[in-house]
Structure formats: structure tokens, C-alpha cells
Amino acid sequence: MLADAGYFSYENLEFLQEEGIDAYIPDNYYKAEKEGKTRKFRKSLFKYDEEKDCYYCPAAFEIPFSRIQKRKGEPDLRYYVCSYCSQCVLKNACTESGKRTITRDPREHLMKDMRAKLNTEEGTEKYQKRMSTVEPVFGQMKQDRGFREFLLRGKRKTGIEFVMMCTVHNIKKIADFIKRQGKNLKEMLKMIVGGESKGWNKGRIQARMANTLC
């Protein structure tokens, strides 16, 4: 199963693991860190010492355990705070605050395992396929076509509306060529939509489709 970062959560990873589902889901920082686009030292550069229950920063300073945050319905979150930031020459590359703070969720091994799987040859291939075949489609429908919400209500009607917008996306490739030939696309649109209105707000949907095509 392939999914984008919007579906990443420890709860989802736990469920997939319990169900034995082989999934590839990057976390929110995976792409930025992989491409080196993070402005500050990322958490993965801080090494955790399980025996001492502390972290070591890139400058080799020890970051001891500080406190626990209780969370309803989720495991406790542990905080580690560095006391050496003011004297560290790497501070500007690490934190804007007086002390760098690291949080630790006991389920972080799930993210670590997922990243390791994504970094394999098979994982990289699947992730690239996901990015190249799915994301641009939804991005274009939302940003370029203006499809940010449904105009209709109900599962059946919204399903039909979504299919219509997918149709728009597919014929857009042809429509671009037709436009260059000086053809009128609005008449073609009427032929595509057609049918009886019967409670549909067909005029608004036609207008939306016309705007995306013309």
C-alpha cells in the first residue's frame, strides 16, 4: 500500500503492522530531510542513548531527560532539554531558542523502520512512483482546476461530481490541443454533461467545468 505523508501517524502504522499490511508511508519531514532542505539540525542527527536515557547532539553535548507530558489516549511524551546551547558554536544551525528541546515518543521505532524501508531500492522506487503518478493529479485538480470542495451533497451525487472532475482532468490534455486549433469547447462541454437536471445544480457544475476547460 502506498500513501502520502498526510496519512502518516503512529496509530496508522500500528494498525498496518497488526494487520500485516505492507505499506510505504513517508512522515512529514522525510522528503525535506532526504533532500537536505531542513534549516535546522534535524532530530535524526541527535543520537539516543537508551542506557542513559539521554540524547547527544551533533556537537557531542549530552541532552538529559527533563520531564514527561501526559497525553490522553496516547503514550506519554518525554522531553529532553540541552543546557549547553549558549556556549555551543553550532547553536545558530540548531535552535533559535535558548535551549534545544527534543521530544521522544515510545513509538518512534515505527517511523525509523518505515524510513529504513523507504530508503531501500524497492522503497525508493515505489515512493517515486507514488509522487509522480498521484500527487500531481490531485495538486492540479485542487490548485489549477479550483476543485477544493463539493458543490453537491450525498454519497451518490458527490461521487458523480468527482467523476466529472476526473473526466475534466483527463480531457484537459486533449482540450489544450483543441484550444490551440481555435475550437469552441463550451459546446463540447454541453455534450459531455447532458442529461436531466432533476435536483442537480447542473448549471454551477457546467460553469465550473467550463472555467477549467476554457
In tens, the pLDDT along 114-151 reads 999 999 999 888 877 776 665 566 767 776 677 777 88
Sign of torsion over alpha carbons 159, 162, 168, 170: negative
pLDDT in tens, the chain (214 residues): 888 787 889 999 999 999 999 999 988 888 777 776 776 888 989 999 999 999 999 999 999 999 999 999 899 999 999 999 999 999 999 998 889 999 999 999 999 999 999 999 998 888 777 766 655 667 677 766 777 778 889 889 888 888 888 887 777 767 776 677 666 666 656 655 555 445 555 566 556 555 555 5
- Give the pLDDT score at 185: 60
Q: Where are the domains of the chain?
A: 5-133, 135-213
- Report the distance separating Cα 210 and Cα 214, nearest Å: 6
- Report the distance separating Cα 117 and Cα 51, nearest Å: 26
- Report the distance separating Cα 173 and Cα 185, nearest Å: 13
- Report the distance separating Cα 10 and Cα 69, nearest Å: 17
Q: Are 100 and 85 within 8 A, CB to CB?
A: yes
CA 63 to chain CA centroid, nearest Å: 30
pTM above 0.75, yes or no: no
